[in-house]
Chain A
């Protein structure tokens, strides 16, 4: 039987919230109870009880939801599956329970089977939300998205008459629901109780890591635009070559302060999981020498490769993946995202430069993470097989803003919103979709970086699910498998 935690329970205050301290907004917006489920059977019984009582269930695995989809549930019930965290290999199939944290998943799969999931970098993100929303990480250019590897899902759905049904869906059984669960996000269709993977990529043996930093305070607006364009150019050209798919780079842009730096973090391995031939990495690093990096640099009389050799670290992939992967400090936060199909234009660079130079509290609290993307993710057939439509992008951007004081909420939220809007306003954006990453240059936003600001645009479903037939497909699937809209949040799939 699930562990019931109601408002009188001393654990309630600690457990009612996720990692983003903005939610629940206040006590009246919190759920009235939590049900901690340690097995699919417990989850099924808990869901029956919640539906039978007419309560709204929201579902939590790791608690990293960026918006209020789970923790704001006035009078409702949170089904917390964090205790259901089994990872195993049984009957030739890898199974990952939704409550398993990514770090646990990596550790278990690596130690037991020497395989891995191409999933996120944050150790304590729960598998449930991460995988159902697509999931990506440092190996995704090499191996694709997490949900691309899914071959089956166990899920509890609620039929029209309220009956809770435990289903196993895959390509042959409930194929429509299975497709929807491969990236359309959690909280729309049911309670996932297990992910199945018939195969998984071998874990790399080792990775080569390096970082580049650039003096930020002395960089002019034009130089910054050139730097961004150069970064994007790589992914738009050379980065499309399968030889480079083992290279993943995170370019972090933060507040432009005295002695501040911009930083690129790189990780590389060859398709065979070794990092013995680092020429792809060096080639990438060489591109940025003209911007005077303070990381690996040329030394007189030495080749670039030789000069950088000492700054490139090779270590076991497992060490690199587990070390420093924690995240989700309990803090107030706001996130945004954009998929980019082409490199940066000057107008985008200008908006980014000016925001991080304006000295505002929002700018001081924010970072923009520009991730390399594409590679194996962009294999065309995956768009039709999964519920991730963005298969042409070369970069994915994540806006992040962090603060602690509730009194500063409005200022930070407004600052982020204005910043994002400014980047996507101008002639580089489709005239009728200003303020959003829409048009030939973009592929919208990432559902796992949920952003309720986008709800003000009537085309928000197309931003997150693409402009093709995916969203209508999701609406049909929703009507079939959750006709009562039991599972809903601000950005869940809505009725047609």
Chain B
């Protein structure tokens, strides 16, 4: 494991660097750019550049071989989670707003993407069901027909049906959950947290974690054909109960093996599952790995079978790499690395780059594209404070 590079990843360092470089340099560095190749990194930040104070923005960053360019910021109220439509240039953002038209309802927004991958305009902004607040995760079914939202406060999953242009229909189907009954703080009620979509052929399947109820749920969104009600329905197909008072939270799905990893926070652990298809969808547990610290984010390498896990202790973030090994004990620990200042809350992975987002901004760590291991070179940073979510997506050539 290589040693971390010494980068002072703070607001003061950023401002000092900007001053040293001169305003013209700063302007050129952050001027809108129009590049076609590479990937686009999206960061949801609550108080970032280009946003109104106290509001938020979606920052678009062009990621290329030799440099990264901040393309722009699209004002967006308290963005907390992303999802990209599987086939359309539409980015979905969850807004962690306390009210919508004075009702307790968070919202989701569909943003049209310009050819350069930057959000160009809002296609729709719609409220979640009444009392569905604090959205933490978005996922779109593999068939592109449904957008699912977790409402941490309000204890519900919301499902929006998407039309052919990716625009959500109003009045989502809501599935209200109940908690575990644990007396631990935060578990007196259900708290749906993370979502991943499962490619399951004809059906629109998702896995969701529930912090308040210590469980994972297989959810299916479907059309019911009820006249006058276009939102479809949402149903629980299967549950998997984690140990009591464990606090299920983050999810990551390995695109190669299809294995699902769930973290638990109150009793820190990584729980690994195989998603069984027959006779019906189910979660088959493979392994539970106790951890010393609760993970703050999880992500898989797209092809190397590496799971990246961050945790925060004493105000600092540590990144741990877990290598997939197969069999009944699918992971072993590869190593860990302390990261510079800031607390990491989100991860996004390309084959050759791991992006870490958090309180102090975005940090890019170079990866060996074949092994997924850190190369120890070319650490990059962006000062976008208060990053709540990251998403990386290849841009069309």
Contact = CB atoms under 8 A, between A and B. Distances in A.
Interface of A: 6-8, 27-30, 32, 51, 54-56, 74-76, 158-162, 452, 455-456, 479, 483-486, 488-490, 494-495
B230 A54 contact: no
15 contacts: A7-B229, A8-B226, A27-B229, A54-B177, A54-B234, A54-B235, A55-B176, A74-B174, A75-B229, A160-B189, A161-B178, A161-B181, A452-B103, A483-B179, A495-B153
B177 A488 contact: no
B129 A484 contact: no
A304 to B, nearest CB: 51
Given A484-B189, A495-B153, A452 B175 contact: no
Contact of B231 (A75, A158, A452, A455): A75
B102 interface: yes
B228 to A, nearest CB: 3
Interface in B187-241: 187-190, 226-231, 233-236
A75 B155 contact: no
A160 B179 contact: yes
B178 A162 contact: yes
B173 A489 contact: no
B178 A32 contact: no
Interface residues of B, number: 40
User: What are the 3 tightest A-B residue pairs by CB atom distance, in nearest-first order?
Assistant: A27-B228, A162-B178, A161-B181
Contacts of B226: 6-8, 32
B129 A74 contact: yes
Contact of B104 (A7, A32, A75, A494): A494
Given A494-B104, A495-B153, A7 B178 contact: no
Nearest to B131: A488
A229 B46 CA distance: 53
A28 B170 contact: yes
B119 interface: no
Greatest chain B CB density within 10 A among A54, A56, A489 is at A54
Contacts of B179: 160-162, 483-484
Contacts of A27: 227-229
B228 A160 contact: no
Given A485-B154, A485-B155, A74 B231 contact: yes
A495 B226 CA distance: 34
Interface string B95-124: 000010011100000000000000000000
A289 to B, nearest CB: 46
A74 B171 contact: yes
Interface of B: 99, 102-104, 129-131, 153-157, 169-182, 187-190, 226-231, 233-236
A28 B230 contact: yes
A75 B171 contact: yes
A490 B227 contact: no
Contacts of B131: 485, 488
B233 A75 contact: yes
A483 B231 contact: no
B189 A7 contact: no
Given A32-B229, A160-B181, A485-B155, A54 B236 contact: yes
A29 B170 CA distance: 9
Given A28-B228, A54-B157, A484-B190, 11 more contacts: A28-B170, A30-B228, A54-B177, A54-B234, A56-B176, A74-B129, A160-B182, A161-B180, A162-B179, A483-B189, A484-B177
Nearest to A33: B226
Nearest to A482: B189
B130 A485 contact: no
A158 to B, nearest CB: 7
Tell me if A's interface is mostly helix, strand, loop or mixed.
loop
Contacts of A160: 178-182, 187-189
Nearest to A457: B102
Nearest to A6: B226
Contacts of A488: 130-131
B188 A483 contact: yes
Nearest to B213: A161
B153 A486 contact: no
Contacts of A490: 102-104, 130
B283 to A, nearest CB: 18
A30 to B, nearest CB: 7
A485 B189 contact: yes
Given A452-B102, A484-B155, A51 B171 contact: no
Contacts of B171: 28-29, 74-75
A455 B233 CA distance: 30
A285 to B, nearest CB: 44
Nearest to A57: B176
Contact of A486 (B169, B176, B181): B176
A6 B229 CA distance: 12
Contacts of B99: 455
B41 to A, nearest CB: 35
A161 B183 CA distance: 11
Nearest to A161: B181
Contact of B176 (A30, A54, A479): A54
Nearest to A52: B178
A7 B176 CA distance: 21
A495 B157 CA distance: 19
Contacts of B190: 484
Given A28-B231, A74-B231, A75-B229, A56 B174 contact: yes
Contacts of A485: 131, 154-155, 189
A494 B179 CA distance: 18
Nearest to B178: A162
Nearest to B234: A54
B185 to A, nearest CB: 12
A213 to B, nearest CB: 39
A7 B226 CA distance: 7
Nearest to B172: A74
A159 B181 CA distance: 8
Contacts of B233: 75
A33 to B, nearest CB: 10
B236 to A, nearest CB: 7
A158 B157 CA distance: 19
A419 B305 CA distance: 66
Contacts of A56: 129-130, 174, 176
A410 to B, nearest CB: 14
Contact of A7 (B155, B227, B230): B227
Contacts of B170: 28
B379 to A, nearest CB: 42
Nearest to A29: B171
B180 A75 contact: no
Contact of A489 (B130, B156, B236): B130
A75 B228 contact: no
Contact of B173 (A6, A51, A75): A75
Contacts of B129: 56, 74
A210 to B, nearest CB: 43
Given A28-B171, A455-B102, A455-B103, A486 B178 contact: yes
A345 to B, nearest CB: 29
A479 B229 contact: no
Nearest to A16: B228
Contacts of B103: 452, 455, 490
A463 B226 CA distance: 40
B158 to A, nearest CB: 10
Nearest to B191: A484
A483 B229 CA distance: 29
A484 B156 CA distance: 10
A455 B189 CA distance: 25
A490 B157 CA distance: 19
Contacts of B231: 28, 74-75
A158 B178 contact: yes
